[in-house]
A and B are shown apart, each in its own frame.
Chain A
Amino acid sequence: MTARFVRTLTAAALALGAAACSSSSGDPLAADGGSAKPADGKTVVVGSANFPENVLLASIYSRALKAKGVKVEEKFNIGSREVLYGQLKSGSLTVLPEYNGALLAYLDPKTTAAGTEAVDAELQRRLPAELGVLDPASAEDKDSLTVSKETADRLKLTSVADLAGKAGELVIGGPPEFKSRREQQFKDVYGLTFKEWKPTADTTANALKDGTVQVGNVFTTDPRIVQLGLVTLADPKNLFSVQNVVPLVNKAGVDATATAALNAVSAKLDTAGLTALMKRVAVDKEDPSAVAADWLKANGLG
Chain B
Amino acid sequence: MNWLGWLTTFFTAPARQSGPDAIAHRIAEHLVFCGEALLWAVVLAVPLGVLIGYTGRGAFVVTALTGAARALPTLGLVTLAVLLAGVGDTAVLVPLVALAAPPLLVAAAEGVRGTDPVVRDAALGIGLTHRQVLARVCLPAAAPVLLAGLRTATVQTIATATVAAYVGLGGLGRYVVDGLATKDYPATVGGALLVVLLAVAAQLLFAPLIRRASPPQARLTRRTRTRRTKEPR
Interface residues of A, Cβ cutoff 8 Å to B = 79-80, 82-83, 86, 173, 175-177, 180-181, 196-201, 203, 206-207, 210, 212
Contact = CB atoms under 8 A, between A and B. Distances in A.
A164 B184 CA distance: 31
B168 A198 contact: yes
Contact of A212 (B20, B87, B174, B183): B87
A212 B86 contact: yes
Contact of A83 (B86, B168, B183): B183
Contacts of A83: 180-181, 183
B56 interface: no
Contacts of A180: 178, 182, 184
Given A176-B177, A177-B178, A196-B20, A203 B87 contact: yes
A82 B168 contact: no
Contacts of B87: 200, 203, 207, 212
Which among B86, B88, B165, B166 has the greatest number of chain A C-beta atoms within 10 A? Answer: B86
A74 to B, nearest CB: 21
Interface in B70-90: 82, 86-88
Given A176-B178, A212-B88, A201 B183 contact: no
A147 to B, nearest CB: 17
Contacts of B100: none
A177 B168 contact: no
Contacts of B174: 176, 199
B138 interface: no
17 contacts: A82-B182, A82-B183, A83-B183, A86-B183, A176-B177, A177-B178, A199-B165, A199-B174, A200-B87, A200-B168, A201-B168, A203-B82, A203-B87, A206-B86, A207-B86, A207-B168, A212-B86
A197 B85 CA distance: 21
B178 A199 contact: yes
B212 to A, nearest CB: 42
A80 B182 CA distance: 7
Interface in B178-210: 178, 180-184
A180 B174 CA distance: 13
A302 B79 CA distance: 35
Secondary structure dominating the interface of A? mixed
B167 interface: yes
A210 B174 CA distance: 22
Nearest to B169: A199
Contacts of B177: 176, 199
B182 A210 contact: no
Nearest to B174: A199
Interface in B149-167: 165-167
Given A80-B180, A83-B181, A200-B168, 11 more contacts: A79-B181, A82-B182, A86-B183, A175-B181, A176-B182, A181-B182, A197-B20, A199-B165, A199-B174, A203-B86, A210-B86
A211 to B, nearest CB: 10
Given A206-B86, A210-B86, A199 B180 contact: no
Contacts of A79: 180-181
B180 A201 contact: no
Given A196-B20, A212-B88, A201 B166 contact: yes
Residue from A79, A80, A83, A199 with most neighbouring chain B CB atoms (10 Å): A199
B20 to A, nearest CB: 6
A177 B181 contact: yes
A201 B169 CA distance: 10
Q: Which 6 A-B pairs have the closest CB atoms?
A: A82-B183, A176-B181, A177-B181, A176-B178, A80-B181, A200-B168
A124 B87 CA distance: 40
B167 A201 contact: yes
A207 B83 CA distance: 11
A18 B197 CA distance: 41
Nearest to A204: B168
B79 to A, nearest CB: 9
B161 to A, nearest CB: 16
Contact of B182 (A177, A201, A212): A177
A203 B86 CA distance: 8
B80 to A, nearest CB: 13
A212 B88 CA distance: 9
Contacts of A173: 168
Contacts of A176: 174, 177-178, 181-182
A194 B166 CA distance: 22
Contacts of B168: 173, 198-201, 203, 207
